[in-house]
Chains A and B, each alone.
Chain A
Amino acid sequence: MNIAIASGKGGTGKTTLSTNLAHYLAGTGRQVVLTDLDVEEPNSKLFLTGEVVETRREVRMVPTWNKEACQLCGACQTTCNFHAIVKIGTEIMIFPEMCHGCYACSELCRAHALPMEAVEIGTMTVMKTENFDFIESRLDIGQEQAVPLISKSIALVDSRYDTEVIRLFDSPPGTACPVIEVSKQMDFIILVTEPTPFGLHDLKLAVETMRHVGTPFAVVINRDGIGNADVEDYCREEHIDILARIPNDRKIAEVYSSGGLAYIGHERMTQALELVSEHIRGLEVRA
């Protein structure tokens, strides 16, 4: 089962829930793999220790210019919908950061002067922590497109773990293409939010996103008790399940600040994880 932990914006407790939930579920005897797909700002690893069992550099394909073969017809410039290729005088310039890797320029070039070549975009690291597997997917600085790395990471999980394993994914925040890429491939999504006006606003966007993709979802409220009741009211009106509430507690923030797992020894937070885990069990039974 693929379950993503997502939120309309960052900083609502996505990583806190992902890491604590993975550790908790593994503690109940389940086989768990957690994958950090927040490739622009991967944070989960900061909360986990373990042994790295594999690292691999990931690549994506972009065209390169073969000057000798090129007949300077300029067709590639009109072919590329993303303005990633420009003909300037007798030079063809390629802007890899704008290229989406569609192969059109390369395959339609009559002179075969634009072979596709691999460029490195990021690193995937597979780790064994104390009781579950962890995969980090990290975009190189200067790489602007998260989606190719995200899809490779999900494919890696698919190839390495069978479906009985609980596969948790720390999703990128927002509502744009990276989130869609993740959400498309999930069985279930947990949306984390705070009960504040910003939290509600961003939750609404996240709900819209999930409904657009069509993946079933429910909400976990983080920092419950701060702010107001608008998130609760909204969920009730929209018939959205609230799986659990993590209390607003400076202690949780403190443990988080130094990279600890806050649920350990925290009764109310453990109860919240229990509720989430019960829900996951229910999903598995139904599946």
Chain B
Amino acid sequence: MKEIVVISGKGGTGKTSITASFGVLGAGNTVIADCDVDASDLHMLMNPQNTREEDFTSGAVAVIDQDACVHCGRCSRVCRFDAIPYIDDRYEVIPLDCEGCGYCAKICPALAIKMVDQVVGRVFYSDAKTGAPMVHARLHIGAENSGKLVAKVKREAKAVAMEKGYDYVLVDGSPGIGCPVVSSLTGADVVVLVTEPTVSGLHDLKRVHQLVRRFQIPTACIINKADLNSEMTQELKTYLEANDILHLFDIPYDEDFTKCMVEGKTVVEIPGSRYHEIFEQGWRLLI
């Protein structure tokens, strides 16, 4: 089984529309995993059905039993995150500030603090409109550990692929360079970088590639909106060549992508679309 991960560093480069197009072309032997758990959009193009869902639990938050508390204030003093202020004659945990380290619970002489597990997200298992199995997730507001949820989505997608005998797992990866994208990249066989010819596109490509390089995974790149700025496109290409990144193909600045999105479709589903051929060839190079 081969795992193909699409990431972009910078948001808004068309990563999800591109992933969905590959997902449509690969239907039949590809499991789709949306690891952009912070802002998962892929389902809007893949229209998943027959969903089964479950809670995702991770991390903990401190809860003080006010009846047991003897007001010594030790919890408040040890908390490095200022999450236990003294308000209205009581020590109160501010859940938004609590990191879940449990230091307070360990030192409370009255044993008044419990660490309570948090439901931080939800995982969905379904069939995409193409019939392909899909796993996606939703991180609850302000939740931590999106890296763990990403790892979970990937693990589940692989398990589905194993079980059903699918050859590929296609992953819509997370943005940035932090823990979620590290989890997205872990275990990948091929990485596809989606970028655009803008100063920020190039900047973020370089930054995320520095991270990708550490994983030593074969890497390809798609330049979206390539005709927006030919100089920048040239600069991108020079960078790709110098860094042994396969330049998969270019996509022009085309509002058809947005029009398709409004209809919940990918560009490769439009009859007679010129993109069909381009994506088909690209997909064959990736798998």
Contacts and interface: CB of A to CB of B under 8 A. Distances in A.
Interface string A1-38: 00000001111100100000000000000000000000
Interface in A34-59: 40-41, 43, 46-47
A102 B262 contact: no
B12 A197 contact: no
B156 interface: no
Interface in B64-113: 78, 80-81, 96-97, 99-103, 106-107
Given A8-B39, A9-B38, A144-B147, A212 B258 contact: no
Interface in A107-124: 107-108
Contact of B10 (A10, A108, A139, A205): A10
A283 B107 CA distance: 44
B63 interface: no
A95 to B, nearest CB: 12
Interface string B23-37: 000000000000010
B77 to A, nearest CB: 11
A284 interface: no
B198 interface: yes
B3 interface: no
| Chain B: number of interface residues, binned into ranges | 35 or more
B10 A41 contact: yes
Nearest to A173: B11
Given A9-B38, A176-B139, A254-B229, A139 B177 contact: yes
B261 A197 contact: yes
A250 interface: yes
B232 A257 contact: yes
Given A81-B100, A100-B99, A141 B211 contact: yes
A146 interface: yes
A46 B103 CA distance: 42
B255 interface: yes
Interface in B1-52: 9-13, 16, 36, 38-39, 41, 44
B229 A257 contact: yes
A196 interface: yes
Interface stretch (B127-135, B202-210, B272-280): B202-210
Given A41-B9, A226-B255, A107 B78 contact: yes
A175 B13 CA distance: 19
A177 B99 CA distance: 10
B178 A81 contact: no
Interface in B172-217: 175-179, 182, 196-201, 203-204, 207, 210-211, 214
Nearest to B147: A144
A40 B176 contact: yes
A41 B175 contact: yes
A133 interface: no
B29 to A, nearest CB: 27
Contact of B96 (A15, A176, A180): A180
8 contacts: A43-B203, A81-B100, A102-B80, A103-B78, A180-B141, A180-B142, A202-B41, A227-B262
Given A43-B203, A103-B80, A205-B141, 4 more contacts: A144-B182, A176-B38, A196-B258, A201-B41
In the A-B complex, the 7 residue pairs with the smallest Cβ-Cβ separation, listed nearest first, are: A11-B12, A10-B11, A11-B11, A102-B101, A9-B39, A40-B176, A104-B103
